[in-house]
Structure 1
Amino acid sequence: MGKPHGRYELKHYINYADVVELKSRLPLVARSDENSVDGKGYRVKSLYFDNYNDKALMEKINGVNGREKFRLRLYNNDTSLIRLEKKSKKNGISYKESTTISEEECRRLLDGDFAVLKEKENDLCMELYTKMRFQQLRPKNIVDYWREAYVYPAGNVRITLDHDIRTSQNIHGFLRAGTVLVPIPGIYILEVKYNGFLPEIIRGVVSLSSRRVTAFSKYAAARII
């Protein structure tokens, strides 16, 4: 597995009026993400790992440099493509490593059979296996939300609007579309990801100067409600 490329990530609290405005402006300069359903966005469901000391949660709350978190992720409740991802952040730059696992492998993992990761013979799976064994990482919390995403080629920019955030501690509900999830009301997040530079046209459209950059984490919000 090659070394992941780092990206800058800016997150902003916004309100519903901002969402409406951005949805009218962004299509003028950026194209809708290819995963969008009829151009209206898509559902994201993530299952985050943490240990008995809530290491990932506390590192996020305390703003620790060099922090990391593991998660499983699927889209639109489609279990035919499940990603295992590791997100890490160091010196303000975010990194992501990713691989795929099957629904059956995911089911075994949720049932506590984490040796399935060792069988994959994949670097990322082996890292999670090791940390599940020696750091007691375990599946902890589901975070589910609606995402509208736009991309702009220069600077490899990706802009997302996340809302209708919901959560559950029923980890086995990750693979079930009908799982009951607890809503986290009133939260709208604008996120801008880019490589070396952020084009002025995008900076202008999202009006970053008028919005407060935040260290908001959907996982942390789901854990402390």
Structure 2
Amino acid sequence: MQFRHEHKHDINYLDYLILRSKLKAVMQPDLNTNEDGKYQIRSLYFDNYRDVALQDKISGINRREKFRIRCYNKDFNFINLEKKSKINGLCLKIKATITKHQAAAILDHDTDWMAKSEEPLVVEFYSKMKSGQLKPKTIVDYNREAFVYRPGNVRITIDRDIRTGLFSTDLFNPDLPTVATGDQQILLEVKYDQFIPEVIANIIQLDGRRQTAFSKYAASRIYS
């Protein structure tokens, strides 16, 4: 497990068109993408009654973590449990595949089985649910284009149409009503290990586009 650099930028539609064209020329599309080069992500985030994960993000706490259940393209046959940690500005994501039945059990507060799981992340999540009283809080949906570059283990994603499921945590509802998370609708994320190759650094130079601390989870919680 290795912590990685992660930088986010707000971009406009013109930025998006220019960047996408340049990235396609030098980077490979992520294996998850479909025929049009995109895929849809749905994440269900967990927090406790004091909203610790939300408050830590808003306050910029140096060491923080959050748990989520994630699926792709509304295909509920492949689901991940994920923990994302941030320490000293570096990020680490750990994930474990779970079944739809297991995800449904978690949402129904049927969690005793988790303590006996062979997946360390599932056991840790169980412990955090019990000790920290973590509960489902909100759903975030968005469309993603992702590109990878082997040197530096670079991954660049462009997320659009970021939406929240309001007060619903109905993970398996393909027709879940959602609303846009404010004015921010295109987010560029750049992730890499120790260094970012010059060819990639030159492509993502964005005049006047400041780095942002935008959080999809925090933005979605404005409604709940």
TM-score interval, smaller chain: over 0.9
Alignment equivalent of 1:8, drawn from 5, 8, 23: 5
Match of 2:126 among 126, 129, 138: 129
- Gap change, CA 1:37 and 1:185, over 3 Å in 2: farther
TM-score, with length taken from structure 1: 0.94
Tell me the distance in 2 between the aligned counterparts of 1:116 and 1:131: 14
1:40 counterpart letter in structure 2:
G
Aligned counterpart, 1:93: 90
Q: How high is the TM-score relative to the length of structure 2?
A: 0.95
Say whether residues 1:38 and 2:45 are aligned partners. Answer: no
Residue 209 of structure 1 and its aligned partner are, at CA, apart by 6.2
The letter for the 1-side match of 2:102 is E
User: How far is the alpha carbon of 1:165 from its aligned partner?
Assistant: 0.7
1:110 to 2:107 alignment: yes
- Aligned residue for 1:216, secondary structure, equals coil
The aligned residue for residue 18 of structure 2 is 21
Query: 2:155 aligns to what?
Result: 158
Q: Is 1:144–1:166's contact at 8 Å kept on the other side of the alignment? A: yes
1:220 counterpart = 2:218: yes
Which of 142, 147, 156 is the aligned partner of 1:145? 142
Q: Percent identity?
A: 48
Deviation at 1:210, TM superposition (A): 4.4
After superposition, residues 171-210 of structure 1 pair within 5 angstroms as: 171=169, 173-187=170-184, 188-208=186-206, 210=208
SS of structure 2 residue aligned to 1:79: strand
Give the 4+ runs in structure 1 shifted more than 6 A: none
Report how many residues are paired: 221
CA root-mean-square deviation: 1.3
Q: After superposition, give the CA deviation of every residue in 1:34-63 in whole Å (9 maximum; x if it has no partner).
A: 111114210000000100000000000100
**Deviation (angstroms), 1:208:** 4.8
2: CA distance between counterparts of 1:49 and 1:31? 32
